[in-house]
Homo-oligomer: A and B are copies of this chain.
């Protein structure tokens, strides 16, 4: 099924496997006239680079993007914009022993049910590596959104049960701290505690889950009733990221425990005398359309499935057995860290699409 594309107008299709020639993305519908350089793409890709530090997988991908189409003389042309990242460190030999086993927490079980076969080399399309294509596409969206004063920033708000206080208004200072942090956490104390916990969990040959929070600043009016609600698009985008298990906006699940008199955001006048929500419990949307307040949402990620402990499983031949990763195998202790740039990219891609959609609603 045609299920590898996202977006209606700013529509992108990703392709490629973690152990084939490479991965990439075609953006069909990117507006003409955006100034774009390879460096814009590379800066974003470098954020998610594995091997950046010991808290993400040491796999040494260089992740160098090539622009295959859609840019001429430094500007997007309106034609499909294609970005390609060749695989350079794709040693699939370590996957050989996994050919004949169902891996707990992995998709080879379901791919086999669906397609009658599976690509045992590193997960194929279900690999986290696919998110590099999203980050590359997101870099284009972010470049354009920045021209309009629209931004989105994702950060780690919780790992291993260690949570920082939520940030609802975002500043340049926080953004810089986030990018500088090896785990994308803008709060120094939380970062320190989390790093210690990760060291511990690695020693215990185990892994952590985590929560990524994202704050976007965008004007009122984005998002479409009924099935194109901004939160519906964001939820779909976030649950498409590997290992994500939940999405909430504003007070989210906490809202279910509140009363109307607590949760309702009263309206007030701002300094210019315009009506604005006085608080932002809603998280930036009402009826699926942005209010102009910060759009704040959270995404839950399960712990990394690949751990260096023996796990009960079954072989393809139907025999009970034990599965254990090789010592030399390389895996993130917490996938949520590497998911941060993907969350940010998908948010940007949703917003770029919503901006285009907003252009067509009035006669």
Contact assessment for A77 and B115 in the assembled complex, using a CB-CB cutoff below 8 Å: yes
Which among A42-50, A169-177, A182-190, A232-240 touches the partner chain?
A: A232-240
Chain B's closest residue to A291 (CB) is B110
- Answer whether residue A5 sits at the interface, using C-beta atoms and an 8 A cutoff: yes
Residue from B3, B72, B211, B260 within 8 A of A28 (CB atoms): B3
Please tell me which one of the listed residues B68, B235, B236, B268 contacts residue A21 in the complex, with CB atoms under 8 A apart.
B68
Q: Assess A116 versus B23: contact at CB under 8 Å? Given A245-B256, A255-B303.
A: no
User: With A28-B2, A79-B4 known to touch, is A360 a contact of B208 (CB < 8 Å)?
Assistant: no
**Closest approach, in angstroms, between the C-beta of A101 and any C-beta of chain B?**
9
A236 to B226, CA, bound (A): 11
Which residues of B have CB within 8 Å of A81?
15
Interface size class of A (residues with CB under 8 A): 35 or more
Q: Which residues of B contact A282 (CB under 8 A)?
A: 105, 302
Q: What B residues does A113 contact at CB under 8 A?
A: 220-221, 289, 291-292
Is A361 interfacial (CB 8 A cutoff)?
yes
B2-A68 in contact (CB<8A): no
A13–B233 CB distance below 8 A: no
Interface membership of A20, Cβ < 8 A: yes
Identify A114's interface contact among B1, B29, B300, B358, CB under 8 A: B358
Is the pair A253, B248 in contact by a Cβ cutoff of 8 Å? yes
Residues facing B in A190-249 (CB within 8 A) are 201, 206-211, 220-221, 223-229, 231-240, 242, 244-249
Given contacts A114-B358, A312-B267, contact A105 B305 (CB under 8 A): no
Query: How many angstroms between the C-alpha atoms of A298 and B286 in the bound complex?
Result: 21
A146 CB, min distance to chain B CBs, angstroms: 11
A242 to B226, CA, bound (A): 9
State the CA gap A114–B230 with chains docked (Å). 13
Tell me whether A109 and B78 are in contact (CB under 8 A). no
Cα A336 to Cα B255 in complex, Å, equals: 11
Q: Say whether B266 contacts A3, CB under 8 Å.
A: no
A225 and B269 form a contact (CB under 8 A): no
Q: Does A11 contact B (CB under 8 A)?
A: yes
Q: Give the contacting residue for A269; candidates B3, B256, B320; CB below 8 A.
A: B320
- Tell me if A22 counts as interface (CB < 8 A to partner B): yes
Q: A206-B260, A235-B238 are in contact. Are A78 and B247 (CB under 8 A)?
A: no
Residues on B with C-beta less than 8 A from A23 are 69
A28 and B9 within 8 A (CB): no
Minimum C-beta distance from A160 to chain B (A): 8
Assess whether B107 is in contact with A15, with CB atoms less than 8 Å apart.
Answer: no
Q: Report whether B68 and A302 are in contact in the complex, using a CB–CB cutoff of 8 Å.
A: no
Q: Would you call A105 and B260 a contact (CB within 8 A)?
A: yes
Residues of B within 8 A of A251 (CB): 245, 302
- CB-CB < 8 A to A11: which residues of B? 2, 5
Given A245-B250, A259-B208, verify A363-B290 contact (CB < 8 Å): no
Please pick, from B4, B201, B209, B235, the residue contacting A263 in the complex, using a CB distance under 8 A. Answer: B209
Q: What are 29 A-B pairs with beta-carbon distances under 8 A?
A: A1-B357, A5-B11, A5-B13, A9-B360, A14-B80, A15-B79, A24-B69, A29-B360, A32-B362, A105-B260, A109-B220, A109-B267, A109-B277, A110-B220, A113-B292, A114-B223, A125-B225, A207-B259, A211-B253, A226-B240, A231-B245, A232-B239, A235-B235, A236-B239, A245-B253, A248-B253, A260-B305, A274-B318, A275-B314
